[in-house]
Amino acid sequence: MNVIATLPDELEAQLRAELDAIGTARGGAGVSDDYLRFWERVARAQAKAQAAIRGNRLAPPTPERPEATGQLTAAEAAFDDRLLLALLEEVAEGAPDQEPGEQAPALLNAAWEEPDLLRRLATAATIGGDARPLQETASRLDIPSGNLLFLVQILARPFLVEARLRRPGSTEHDTRMLDTASGRCPACGAHPGLAVLRTGDGARRLVCLLCDETWLAPRLMCTSCGTRDQEALATLHVAEDDPRWIEVCDACHRYLKTVDQWRMTEADPLIPRAEDARTLHLDLIAEREGYVRPAL
Ligand SMILES: [Zn+2]
Ligand SMILES: [Zn+2]
Q: Is 193 helix (H, G, I), strand (E, B) or coil?
A: coil
pLDDT computed for residue 48 by the predictor: 95
pLDDT exceeds 60 at position 175:
no
pLDDT exceeds 90 at position 281:
no
Measured from the alpha carbon of residue 187, the closest ligand is 1
Measured from the alpha carbon of residue 189, the closest ligand is 1
Each residue's pLDDT tens digit, 205-220 = 999 999 998 888 888 9
CA of 240 to the centre of ligand 1 (A): 31
CA of 263 to the centre of ligand 1 (A): 26
Please indicate whether residue 289 or residue 269 has the higher confidence score (pLDDT).
Answer: 289
pLDDT computed for residue 3 by the predictor: 45
pLDDT exceeds 70 at position 171:
no
**Nearest CA-CA partner of 85 in 125, 116, 128, 54:** 116
pLDDT exceeds 60 at position 197:
yes
What pTM does this model have?
A: 0.89
CA of 188 to the centre of ligand 1 (A): 4
174: confidence class by pLDDT, cuts 50, 70, 90: low
Single-letter code of the amino acid located at 218 = P
259 to 173, 193, 264, 270, 294: CA distances (angstroms): 18, 11, 9, 9, 18
266: confidence class by pLDDT, cuts 50, 70, 90: low
- Lowest-confidence region among 45-49, 98-102, 200-204: 98-102
Measured from the alpha carbon of residue 233, the closest ligand is 2
CA of 189 to the centre of ligand 1 (A): 6
Measured from the alpha carbon of residue 234, the closest ligand is 2
CA of 133 to the centre of ligand 2 (A): 26
What mean pLDDT value characterizes the chain? Answer: 86
1: confidence class by pLDDT, cuts 50, 70, 90: very low
pLDDT exceeds 90 at position 138:
yes
- The neighbourhood of ligand 2, an ion, using CB within 5 A, equals 222, 224-225, 249, 251-252
pLDDT exceeds 90 at position 100:
no
CA of 187 to the centre of ligand 1 (A): 5
CA of 186 to the centre of ligand 1 (A): 7
pLDDT exceeds 50 at position 273:
yes
Measured from the alpha carbon of residue 161, the closest ligand is 1
Per DSSP, helices labelled H in the chain are: 9-24, 33-56, 74-77, 81-92, 104-113, 117-125, 132-141, 145-165, 272-278, 280-288
pLDDT computed for residue 195 by the predictor: 94
pLDDT exceeds 70 at position 87:
yes
Measured from the alpha carbon of residue 291, the closest ligand is 2
pLDDT computed for residue 194 by the predictor: 94
CA of 209 to the centre of ligand 1 (A): 7
Measured from the alpha carbon of residue 253, the closest ligand is 2
Please indicate whether residue 56 or residue 272 has the higher confidence score (pLDDT).
Answer: 272
Exposed, middle or buried, 68 (CB in 10 Å: 0-12/13-18/19+)? middle
pLDDT computed for residue 32 by the predictor: 79
Please indicate whether residue 246 or residue 30 has the higher confidence score (pLDDT).
Answer: 246
